[in-house]
Amino acid sequence: MVRETSEEELLAAIFPLLPTGEATLVGPGDDAAVVGAPDGRFVVSTDVLVERRHFRPEWSTGYDVGWRAAMQNLADVAAMGARPTALVVSLVIPGHLPVEWVTGLARGLAAACAPSGAAVVGGDLSSGDDVVVAVTVHGDLGGRAPVLRSGARVSDVVAHAGRRGWSAAGLALLDHDLGTADQELVDAYLRPEPPLGAGPAAADAGATAMLDLSDGLLRDAGRVARASGVGIDLDLAAFAGDLARLGAAAAAVRAVSGERPAGEWPAADVSATEVSAAGQDAALARDWVLTGGEDHGLLATFPAGTVLPEPFRAVGRVVDGRRSGDPGGPGAAVTVDGIAPRAHGVGWDHFRG
């Protein structure tokens, strides 16, 4: 257990496992690290994971938590059009935690960072009742202009790279004791694989706006819409592959729970077929695609006619925000096939139920 170990012994066990990178000029062990910023600017973002809020110890290993903590941060850097260079990690752990959990976390961080060459250059350790992992990630723009949320223009193509709804489906499976039914979806929740290279590729291709989808497609698309002063109309058929992939999981969850889907779908579209079991399964899969969080795919807008870089595909278009839906509610500037989703319950909020 951690409490049977000194802080220095624990750090000595962790340090050799941490990923190293070319941008590191001074690594862990001093008051601060020094990281190269050849662009003359650096991109920085921070995200925190809290036990029982963002992960459950009975589902996620230390490795899984390290992987997720890194990936959700790396995706934020990618969403600016940058390549990740360095991370620092603040870790709060209870004394009863096995040392192997902590070294597993370091291995998960390292595995998630490996493809992009980002290093862990520093950190801090503290004891606490619950595990808290706060990661700060840095990236280099390589001369690119940062791609903000505010640059979408009417008539731009809306494009998406990555999986949609897989993480929410995996979480729902675990939540209903169906984790063994579809390991790939469970893994998509435990260890998301955002398309990090797509971020700089989008910037190079002229993306006008971009963000990481952490809180759900409708909610995050709404953020681009509001920041840019536009509307976004999504084309549900563009997610046919994800919808088909999630159908069986939706049926399995519904068979166990008997729950109706959360009803994020436009009320006007709840037709007679929705009453059927198959219709409700499809509606649940649709909820996951439209509102499920934590896949960390990238949503970007490009001038019409842009040849989209792989793996982006067109999923909608930017429209005049004044004509799309109710301007008052969250996500109101976002429509799906021209219809406004209900203005409540879209995505989630940490403090409200």
Annotated binding site for ATP: 123-124, 149, 214
Tell me, what DSSP letter sits at residue 114? G
Tokens 């910023």 sit on residue: 37
* Contacting residue, 138, 191, 254, 286, with a copy of itself by CB under 8 A: 138
* Contacting residue, 22, 56, 98, 126, with a copy of itself by CB under 8 A: 126
Residues 36-95 that bind a copy of itself (CB under 8 A): 36-50, 53-54, 75-77, 79-80, 82, 86, 88-92, 95
Q: Rule CB under 8 A: say whether 115 interacts with a copy of itself.
A: no
Q: Which is nearer to a copy of itself, 170 or 194 (CB)?
A: 194
Annotated binding-site members for substrate: 54, 294, 348
Q: Which is nearer to a copy of itself, 95 or 206 (CB)?
A: 95
Q: Rule CB under 8 A: say whether 246 interacts with a copy of itself.
A: no
Task: For residue 95, give Cα distances in angstroms to 123, 131, 147.
Answer: 18, 10, 42
**CB of residue 256 vs a copy of itself: minimum separation in angstroms?**
28
Number of residues in contact with a copy of itself, rule: CB under 8 A? 75
Question: Is 33:86 a contact under the CB 8 Å cutoff?
Answer: yes
CA distance 99 to 62: 10
Q: Which is nearer to a copy of itself, 27 or 165 (CB)?
A: 27
**CB atoms near residue 8 (< 10 Å):** 9
Buried b (16+ CB within 10 A) or exposed e, 209-240: bbbbbbbbbbbbbbbbbbebebbbbbebebbe
From residue 260 to residue 279, what is the string marking binding to a copy of itself with x (rule CB under 8 A)?
--------------------
**CB of residue 40 vs a copy of itself: minimum separation in angstroms?**
6
**CB of residue 96 vs a copy of itself: minimum separation in angstroms?**
11
**Which residues 6+ apart lie within 8 Å of 64 measured at CB?**
55, 108, 190, 191
Q: Rule CB under 8 A: say whether 26 interacts with a copy of itself.
A: yes
Residue 332 identity (one-letter amino acid): A
What are phi and psi for residue 159, nearest 5 degrees?
-130, 155
**CB of residue 306 vs a copy of itself: minimum separation in angstroms?**
21
Q: Rule CB under 8 A: say whether 171 interacts with a copy of itself.
A: no
CA distance 1 to 6: 11
